[in-house]
Amino acid sequence: MPTDPDPLETAVLTPGTTTSAIIALLYRHPEHQYSRQEIRTELEISATTALAAIDRLHTTDHIQTTPDGTYRAHPDRTALFRYTAALDGLDRLFRTDEHPETTDATDADLESADLSTQAIENAVDLVETTETQGQ
């Protein structure tokens, strides 16, 4: 008998929306935990908008709440990590063609990574875990 689909599979994330921006912020920095105020400040959104979007994402288990009341990426949501990576790829694609970050960038600047060692290790562990589970 068919079961209800995972809410993550039926969720529609649209780039440019508040929900998408919150997902992108948390999943780009899975090692960080953010308060509602920090999310509001970082994304420059109103308190009401932040409250509604964060509560909806938490209720649907797209993000987790920590014991101290902050929010973070849900480590088991590989689709959301892929979604965020796709957003980053699109940003790079269009920034290169239409909106260069700076005209003063050197090769060394362009090659520097924004990821911490811990974030890279977490991503490698996530890929290895996914590959192991798929076998």
Domains of the chain listed by start with CATH number:
7-101+112-135 (1.10.10.10)
Residue 121, pLDDT score: 74
Residue 14, pLDDT score: 87
For residue 41, CA distances in Å to 16, 44, 73, 84 come to: 17, 5, 18, 20
Residue 2, pLDDT score: 42
The verdict on pTM exceeding 0.75 is no
Residue 114, pLDDT score: 59
Any idea what the Cα angle at residue 57 is, between residues 55 and 59, rounded to 5°?
65
Sign of CA dihedral 33, 77, 85, 13: negative
Cα–Cα dist 76/1, whole Å = 25
pLDDT per 10-residue tile (average), the chain, 135 residues:
46 85 96 97 95 94 95 93 90 66 54 62 70 59
